[in-house]
Structure 1
Amino acid sequence: MTTPAPALDTLSPRVAAMQPSATLAISGRAAALRREGRDVIALSAGEPDFPTPAPIVEAAHQALRDERFSYTPNPGIPELREAIAKKLQTENGLDVQAAQVVCSNGAKQSVAQAVLAICQPGDEVVIPAPYWVSYPEMARLAGATPVSVLATSEADYKLTPDQLADAITEQTRVLILNSPSNPTGAVYTPDELEGLAAVLREHPHVAIISDEIYEHVLFDADFASFAALDGMAERTCTVNGFSKAFAMTGWRLGYLAAPAWWSGAVAKIQSQLTSGPSSITQYASLAAFEMGPEVLEEMVGAFRQRRDAVLERLRAIDGVTCPTPEGAFYLFPDVSALYGRQTPDGAEIAGSVDFCTYLLEARDVALVPGEAFGNDAGVRISYATDLDTLMTACDRIEAGVVGLR
């Protein structure tokens, strides 16, 4: 008996298993309400509200005048790869050569291709939760199984060595770390990273993807690259980019640096998917390495002021608790004490989705439910907007919570 052909609209099981982005879904619903005339405040997107620095914009103009319109080498132009390698050497203490750098259309593509390059069905990918929403879906796309390990608010949302040791099995292929973290803003100290590295030295079959895209949005902690720890360079893929620190989200340029066996495989994947990123963006991004730290100080200072102001407001709301984030531009308050209460219309708040839906529909403020990040106890708040808007949003959140019964 022959097996019947699948229906035309049958999807790949790997794609069918993936979930759509919750952040994009919330942003879309907020935009729809705005089109209806509602004054919705969206604190859901992870995008700096600052312009790209003028020297980068001017470098893009110069690239246009110079007619830099051709395809570039697949892993990026040599000048940019060399600049990135130098940055990683001098700022992060990594022994990296330009040949190990691959530039992609954003750090998201870099992480996805790093996963695809080494994971296969049967592998496990350990992901501390709360996690960025795309990590588990990237693992599923590769045919691997995401293994979520819950880091609680009491632990400042950081994975402990004991938790990591318990999560690793013979099938574990990758650990994904994100510091500073999206969605919590948590930053691992050098000692905390060393504690994780000590566990990994007992498991040489496990590779590490260290997503460091928020490296320069840092407040109260010292930053350290995981690959700089003893014995980690030969098994770590370091991911970074220009979108957050240099407010270049729409420019789409990220990069990774990894051992040659790994970065070469990533370059091979990219050559068959997208080829190299935008030529104009690459030439423009060279200017970022020529700017001093004062370019970042204004933006980071504003984020710190906003963080402190919103944190104070949230902690004054009965039933809401929140650790102090040390980086990025997110807060992840625990609102689970509010679960079980009812809205003025009599609907029960059973979890983070209900809570965020209530605030959006009844109070015109958009947050992202923690369920999407692997921790249903909390919600993500992006404070990448002006302080007056944030204070208005806090007024609405407080009124929404007070309105529960």
Structure 2
Amino acid sequence: MNASQQRVDEQQLSRSNSENAREWRGRFPYNEIISLLDVNRPFNLAESTSQDLTLGELLDLSGLERIRDLKLGYGKSAGAQALREAIADACKVPAGQIVTTQGTALGLFLLAFEVCRPGDEAVLATPCFPPSRDCLLGAGVSVREVRLSFENGYRLDLEQLAASLSLNTKLVSIASPQNPSGVQTSRADIEKLLVLMERRSPGAILFIDETYREATYGDDVAIDSFAGLDSRIVTGASVSKALGAPGLRTGWLTVADPDLRSRLTVAKMNTVISGSVLDEALAAALLRNREGVLASRRHLLAGALEELATWCEREQKRIEWVRPDAGALCCLRLRRDAFDDVAVSRFWDLLPRYDLQLACGTWFGESDRVFRLGFGYLPAARLGSALAALSSALDAVSA
């Protein structure tokens, strides 16, 4: 397929998706982020993962020498023991506290579905990964959003959170590092939030999405998981982002409370029965070898982040950004003194012409001036060309 035909197909898909959004009647809200599963332009700066791990790279890791002997029967509802032990080692909690899930989003859905009842509320820090909001709505939960600001570097706003908490709050959901910004929340702020919850919402669970926690830069050491900090904390993560294996669809929850953990295991049994034994065996090997896999990826991310920082410095009259603390993603914003609202709309219309793909801020609960830029997905040799194409698109908008 030539580039022209590809753009036509993408435009037809975009129109189809827009029509779907207008006519949508599903229990889960429609979000354009689903387009990332269908469209992959040459300069894809929309993805938030590091580069995809190949099956060959995975099979070369130690611990898979007898994978051909694996019996493809049902797995355990709580997850394979080897996988839970590998997760426990990474999170520094007992393996008995782990429940595996098909990705972090399913874990949050099961958590919301189990702990919230009609009339209960969930407090959610936004902007956020769309399923983090939409799976709560799909579970029938009333959601109170606490909107973090670009101007404040997307730092957690404890005053806003406190004002949103009530006796009806049964779940508080945040991410650290955040998606789309890559901004982390400090241990001190988590401890302050727990105090606020004890005062205002004593029956609430704090969910922390830690999917990007180990996607640090260069020799930076990942912060410890919040899993062992307090029994009210449930963390979620997966092998999708830092380790580059979203196709394994393997994530987990850490759940200190034995009653809640049992209920979540039953909920998982009644929805998906168990995880794939093949996926879980591969994920266990990946996690056991995670330091070696992460080391090379962290250096690639560090180089990519510095290249992006240099580009943002050159484009500072047209672009603002929030530098991330971790992850292969960050938020950029089109400056108001450089682009009016009409120009912003034109910017999004022009991207296919330059083979560019970005994640629009509206997907995450931000304005369309903001976009998530993924700097770890493209090979290092192509990132510079993609950023040059983005500069060309900005030139065209300004012309």
Distance 1:110 1:314 in 2: 36
Do the aligned residues in 1 keep the contact of 2:123 with 2:173 (CA within 8 Å)? yes
Report the CA distance between 1:361 and its aligned residue. 3.3
Report the CA distance between 1:55 and its aligned residue. 7.4
Distance 1:171 1:237 in 2: 19
Counterpart of 1:375? 366
Is 1:159–2:139 an aligned residue pair? no
Distance 1:246 1:209 in 2: 22
Change (3 A) 1:60 1:276: farther
Report the CA distance between 1:403 and its aligned residue. 2.5
Do the aligned residues in 1 keep the contact of 2:318 with 2:334 (CA within 8 Å)? yes
Change (3 A) 1:356 1:150: farther
Counterpart of 2:29? 19
Change (3 A) 1:116 1:338: farther
Counterpart of 2:79? 76
One of 388, 397, 400 as aligned partner of 2:390: 397
Report the CA distance between 1:224 and its aligned residue. 3.9
Report the CA distance between 1:387 and its aligned residue. 2.8
Equivalent runs, 1:91-102 vs 2, <5 Å: 94=93, 97-102=94-99
Do the aligned residues in 2 keep the contact of 1:184 with 1:330 (CA within 8 Å)? yes
> What's the secondary structure of 2:26's corresponding residue?
helix
> What's the secondary structure of 1:199's corresponding residue?
helix
One of 201, 205, 208 as aligned partner of 1:207: 205
Distance 1:25 1:50 in 2: 18
Do the aligned residues in 1 keep the contact of 2:214 with 2:222 (CA within 8 Å)? no
Is 1:181–2:178 an aligned residue pair? yes
Once the two structures are superposed, what CA deviation does each residue of 1:334-355 show, in whole Å capped at 9, x if it has no partner? 225268637xxxxx245xxx36
> What's the secondary structure of 2:208's corresponding residue?
strand
Distance 1:82 1:306 in 2: 33
Change (3 A) 1:356 1:141: farther
Is 1:364–2:362 an aligned residue pair? no
Instruction: Identify the range of structure 1 (280-289 vs 270-279) with the bigger mean alpha-carbon deviation.
Output: 280-289
Change (3 A) 1:98 1:388: closer
Counterpart of 2:226? 226
Amino acid at match of 2:365: G
Do the aligned residues in 1 keep the contact of 2:76 with 2:275 (CA within 8 Å)? no
Relative to the length of structure 1, the TM-score reads 0.82
Amino acid at match of 1:306: A
Equivalent runs, 1:135-284 vs 2, <5 Å: 135-203=132-200, 204-219=202-217, 223-229=223-229, 232-233=230-231, 235-258=232-255, 259-284=257-282
Distance 1:264 1:355 in 2: 51
> What's the secondary structure of 1:155's corresponding residue?
coil
Counterpart of 1:41? 43
Counterpart of 1:305? 303
> What's the secondary structure of 2:243's corresponding residue?
coil
Distance 1:132 1:339 in 2: 28
> What's the secondary structure of 1:74's corresponding residue?
coil
Instruction: Identify the range of structure 1 (139-148 vs 190-199) with the bigger mean alpha-carbon deviation.
Output: 190-199
Aligned length: 367
Amino acid at match of 2:189: E
Report the CA distance between 1:225 and its aligned residue. 3.1
Distance 1:284 1:25 in 2: 28
Distance 2:274 2:32 in 1: 28
Question: Where does the alignment leave 5 or more consecutive residues of structure 1 unmatched?
Answer: 1-13, 35-39, 343-347
Report the CA distance between 1:174 and its aligned residue. 1.1
Amino acid at match of 2:228: A
Change (3 A) 1:281 1:305: same
Is 1:57–2:59 an aligned residue pair? yes
Relative to the length of structure 2, the TM-score reads 0.83
Do the aligned residues in 2 keep the contact of 1:356 with 1:367 (CA within 8 Å)? no
Distance 2:221 2:147 in 1: 22
Distance 1:221 1:193 in 2: 19
Report the CA distance between 1:188 and its aligned residue. 1.5
Distance 2:127 2:116 in 1: 22
Do the aligned residues in 2 keep the contact of 1:27 with 1:42 (CA within 8 Å)? no
Report the CA distance between 1:171 and its aligned residue. 2.2
> What's the secondary structure of 1:334's corresponding residue?
strand
Report the CA distance between 1:179 and its aligned residue. 0.8
Amino acid at match of 2:124: I
Change (3 A) 1:270 1:195: same
Distance 1:262 1:209 in 2: 13
Report the CA distance between 1:69 and its aligned residue. 1.4
CA RMSD across the alignment: 2.6
Distance 2:281 2:387 in 1: 41
Amino acid at match of 1:401: L
Distance 1:270 1:279 in 2: 15
Distance 2:394 2:272 in 1: 46
Counterpart of 2:330? 331
Once the two structures are superposed, what CA deviation does each residue of 1:137-166 show, in whole Å capped at 9, x if it has no partner? 111111112222121123221212112111
Once the two structures are superposed, what CA deviation does each residue of 1:3-53 show, in whole Å capped at 9, x if it has no partner? xxxxxxxxxxx963532342222553x44xx6xxxxx42222233214258
Report the CA distance between 1:245 and its aligned residue. 2.9
Once the two structures are superposed, what CA deviation does each residue of 1:267-306 show, in whole Å capped at 9, x if it has no partner? 1111111111111222223323433624311101111111
